[in-house]
Structure 1
Amino acid sequence: METYTAMRQFADSWGLLAMTLFFVGVVLFTLRPGARKMAKDAAEIPLKED
């Protein structure tokens, strides 16, 4: 089996699964309790005068 064919087959199966799980994890991470306050605090950083 050629290297390209093996890598392509891996990317088509497990690579897609890994990217999907990563995407779902990021979405769930942003929807967790307390995320809204952290996002608001981060958005206000440029406006703060220290």
Structure 2
Amino acid sequence: MDSRQSGYLLELRYAFKLLRLYFFPNNLLTLTKFLYLVLSKFSEMLRELSSYEG
């Protein structure tokens, strides 16, 4: 595992901490924005990894 991958793992752990903070039923808009950010980050990560391996 290189440093970039471990950096992504740290980001994911941080993201899950934030998710737990924001996970309240009245806070759906914040949760939706947060999930959108995580998904866009994740797709960006997948693109980088696929171009890195290719």
TM-score normalised by L of structure 2: 0.45
Give the structure with the larger helix fraction: 2
Structure of higher CA gyration radius: 1
Larger RCO, structures 1/2 (Cα 8 Å, 6+ apart): 2
TM-score normalised by L of structure 1: 0.48
